[in-house]
Structure 1
Amino acid sequence: MESVRYYWHEGEWNVPRILRIIPMPLAQTICQIPIAAGQGDRIVWTKSSTGDFSTKSAWEAIRQASPRRQLLADVWHRSLRPTISVFLWRLFQDRIPVDARMQQKGFSFPSKCQCCEAEETVSHLFIKSAAVQGVWQHFAAIFGLCLCDTGSLTHIVHFWPYSTPFHSDLHIRTLIPFLILWFTWTQWNAAKYRGVPFSTDSIILEVQRHLRTLYAARTLTSTQWKGDLHQAAVMGFIFRQQVPRAPSIVRWQVPSPSWFKLNTDGSSIGNPGLAGAAGIIRDSAGHVHLAYQFTLGTGTSVLAELTVVCRGMELALTHGLAPLVVEVDATTVISLLQSRASGKWEVQHMIMRIVCLQRLLVADVQHVFREANGAADHLAKEAASLQLTRVLHHDDITGSPPRHSLP
């Protein structure tokens, strides 16, 4: 059996050899697969970013995912201890072994709350009991909230986060209800099995102590208190006011004498979506030597950005526009090129080609702010929306029709 390399010649698929064994429709599909020069043949698992098989990617490919629920995403936040996260997940799935729950499973015994004569249920333990109501009212008063006694755990844990327009990463109005629920549970266990008094003050104290621990460890940040910095001060948490950054002037800079500069940009209408890309090459006097636009069909922004860099460097090599500075406003692309990382399997061949062109053009790839990349950005958006594919030289740009088209 021949290897894939046998059907490849000078960087391209050897179509005549392919047609000897495969019919034309299938051969056309094969020829659309890019080749990563310098790498051995290997089987690619398309469901993972690296091309390697993993049970995780296989599971993600076949499972039926439910809609994302922000509440459950917050439960597994990194600033919560795993013990707390597991408890909250079990609580919201009605898996907490309160007396009423155990009776539903067939256990027969009397049920009595640790602070009153009521039956021990999830609703009573975490919402309705006198001791816990005092905890909710204490923290609600600090944040100026008026809690309605609905008896619904779901209602109260949704009410707190949506009482503020700021939805930062685990905002304090999401964190505090979680901590109230957790320390209500720990204090209930202490009362039931160790005889420790179950009281409002003990739960409030534990919540405050935990917040101070997070604050001391610098895992409780001012971002989580956005809109509530006054309440933070009331509770004894002082955060430095962020000094506004002074604005900086951003403009396109000409390259050094005898150098050329390539500015590129890729644009996709949606991600993935209909993609277009463009670039413009100028000299040290700011004169445009050529510009180009092309469409990519449907693809991701990273693929569009890498493709436009590669096309621009190939055009620079063809027209002798070297040495070359390449400016890209996509930090992901810069990281891939500067670290020589392999990236996703779909773009490995593109990265290797760009690295090769860098050596030939003595090219330096740099990051540029989007505000200084306006010309390339405009051309890329125009290419995506109007489906343009063309190369423009200096005389084309000044008014005459374009003379060249990309293959």
Structure 2
Amino acid sequence: MANAASKKSLKNIVMKHKPQIVGISEPKTSLSNVLCLCQGLHMDRYAGNMGDDSKIWVFWKSHDLVQVAASTSQFISLSCNAGTSTMYYLTFVYADCNPVIRPRGVPRPPLHNIWHSAYNPRAALFGWRVLHRAIPTDDQVSAFGIHLASKFSCCTTPAAEDIDHLFLSGEIASSLWRWARPLIRSSAVGPRISITLWNTLSVSNRQSAFDFISIYTVLLILWEIWKDRCAKRHDSKVKSLNGILSDIKYAINTAVQGISFKRNCSQLQLRTLLHYGFTPKFKMKRPKLVRWNPPHLGFYLNMDGASKGNPGLCGGGGCIRDSKGDIRLGFAFSYGQGDSLTTEARALCDGLRLANHHGIHISTVFSDSLVLVQSLRTNRCPSWKCTWWWREASSLLRKSSAQLHHAYRETNRVADALAVYACNTHGSSVFHNPSSLPFVCKGLAALDKAGLPSVRLL
């Protein structure tokens, strides 16, 4: 759609057939041109699969209910009722023919633990190669039909070079693994080096200082073993074990200096790190007493969304309370499948619509989703998946003149319980008085009304 002829041809097709929804695959146009194209097609709404870099653009009219259910680099799925009275799913697919950039295989989240800005990039890349056994040791080269006279450079006894023997049971390797044994979880050690590395990545969480150092230690050991092997074979240089250990300790201390870890270590793990001379920094949390405060004038709306799996089974809930802390209106709506951000935006829309329908003037809205609150304040939609509901929420907020504020989760417990209740019951309910609330919400509502504080760690 980069030239006038293509745009004119598309407009003629739309004018002739009058479709309810128009999808364009890889229009190669900017966002500003998309806005012009949307108006030229006499459409009011649009969505893309990847933001400003979308390869798929979809246009529809505002009177049709259309919601982005899911989107990736290759497709966008919509839940809509355009042209009918029932909801249905519509998917536009863009199949990339380039085998280099086309995503394939099974997602393996532990692989992300190899990459960190504080890690030595060469050690991280080498660890990735070890994990895939893509190292040119003599046995690996022979496996491809190139037979060489093999000699194991890292042992005094002559032997053919083997990738697992080199990195696990060679003389240098055995000494390094004995030194690092307390830093590595016992369940991670396996019979092959690729299994050992994979187990280390799978059981570790880099938000913990101990796991961060554990992963980096394994990567550095592999990298130092390979450098030592190549120096002995090609340059006839020998590096002492103490020199290798000093380099590993220096690299780890350099990496942890600029990081403040969110998860605390156990006492045993912390003693182990201090024994090795590693002094990580932890984000200190301070306690703060928080509570729900009733409004002086008008009514407060607390809303929340819940998504089990994100994306997964989701639902929204909320309650409207007066100056006495009494719940005047509550709701718990099941939304089927969706992500957390779309659920939050949809729950905000439902809460404001219910208040308007019952003639209740909302002065302030509270949400524990900081992303949603900031996006509405800056007028920037955070995700294409929630575009439709986000725009509706923004429009309803402007019409009601309500203020939107972020609330701590501890002060939003009733709304959270209603959202979870909607997910568990797979149904939608409206509650017109406190006595009709679900049992799991009555105690939380009483605590908020009494003004009892909760402890939050900041």
TM range, smaller chain: 0.7 to 0.9
User: Of the candidates 66, 70, 75, which is equivalent to residue 106 of structure 2?
Assistant: 66
Q: Compute the displacement of 1:303 (Å).
A: 2.1
The answer to whether 1:329 aligns with 2:368 is yes
User: Of the candidates 123, 126, 133, which is equivalent to residue 94 of structure 1?
Assistant: 133
- Distance in 1 between residues matched to 2:315 and 2:188, nearest whole Å: 53
Unmatched 5+ residue regions in structure 2?
A: 1-8, 23-34, 57-70, 76-93, 96-101, 438-458
CA gap of 1:254–1:361, structure 2 versus 1, over 3 A, is same
- Which amino acid counterpart does residue 157 of structure 1 have in structure 2? L
Q: Compute the displacement of 1:262 (Å).
A: 0.8
- Distance in 2 between residues matched to 1:383 and 1:149, nearest whole Å: 44
Question: Which residue of structure 1 lines up, in the alignment, with residue 30 of structure 2?
Answer: none
Q: Deviations over 1:252-309 (max 9, x none)?
A: 111133x321111223454334433232222223343333343323333322221121
Question: Aligned residue pairs: how many?
Answer: 368
Q: Compute the displacement of 1:151 (Å).
A: 6.0
Question: Which residue of structure 1 lines up, in the alignment, with residue 179 of structure 2?
Answer: 138
- Distance in 2 between residues matched to 1:287 and 1:313, nearest whole Å: 18
- Distance in 1 between residues matched to 2:118 and 2:204, nearest whole Å: 20
- Distance in 2 between residues matched to 1:161 and 1:313, nearest whole Å: 45
The answer to whether 1:52 aligns with 2:54 is yes
Equivalent residues of 1:292, 1:389 under 8 A apart = yes
CA gap of 1:232–1:302, structure 2 versus 1, over 3 A, is same
CA gap of 1:358–1:210, structure 2 versus 1, over 3 A, is same
Question: Which residue of structure 2 lines up, in the alignment, with residue 196 of structure 1?
Answer: 237
Q: Deviations over 1:53-105 (max 9, x none)?
A: 289812998754325262x3332334323322221222222222223333444
- Which amino acid counterpart does residue 83 of structure 1 have in structure 2? R
Give the share of equivalent positions with the same residue, in percent: 25
SS in 1 for 2:289: coil
Unmatched 5+ residue regions in structure 1?
A: 8-19, 31-36, 399-407
- Distance in 1 between residues matched to 2:432 and 2:322, nearest whole Å: 13
* Between structures 1 and 2, the one with greater strand share: 2
SS in 1 for 2:135: coil
- Distance in 2 between residues matched to 1:369 and 1:340, nearest whole Å: 22
The answer to whether 1:177 aligns with 2:234 is no
Question: Which residue of structure 2 lines up, in the alignment, with residue 401 of structure 1?
Answer: none
- Structure with max Cα Rg: 1
User: Of the candidates 273, 277, 289, which is equivalent to residue 249 of structure 1?
Assistant: 289
CA gap of 1:245–1:189, structure 2 versus 1, over 3 A, is same
- Which amino acid counterpart does residue 263 of structure 1 have in structure 2? N
- Distance in 2 between residues matched to 1:289 and 1:148, nearest whole Å: 55
- Distance in 1 between residues matched to 2:411 and 2:306, nearest whole Å: 16
* Equivalent runs, 1:2-401 vs 2, <5 Å: 40=39, 41=43, 44-46=47-49, 48=50, 52-53=54-55, 57-58=73-74, 63-68=103-108, 70=110, 72-107=111-146, 109-115=148-154, 116=156, 117-140=158-181, 143=183, 152-157=192-197, 168=208, 170-216=211-257, 218-219=258-259, 223=263, 227-239=268-280, 245-246=286-287, 248-257=288-297, 259-322=298-361, 324-394=363-433
SS in 1 for 2:389: helix
CA gap of 1:385–1:137, structure 2 versus 1, over 3 A, is closer
Equivalent residues of 1:171, 1:225 under 8 A apart = no
SS in 2 for 1:249: strand
- Distance in 2 between residues matched to 1:56 and 1:269, nearest whole Å: 20
CA gap of 1:136–1:147, structure 2 versus 1, over 3 A, is farther
Q: TM-score, normalised by structure 2?
A: 0.66
- Distance in 1 between residues matched to 2:339 and 2:190, nearest whole Å: 47
CA gap of 1:51–1:385, structure 2 versus 1, over 3 A, is farther
Q: How well do the aligned residues superpose, as a CA RMSD in angstroms?
A: 4.2
- Which amino acid counterpart does residue 214 of structure 1 have in structure 2? A
Q: TM-score, normalised by structure 1?
A: 0.73
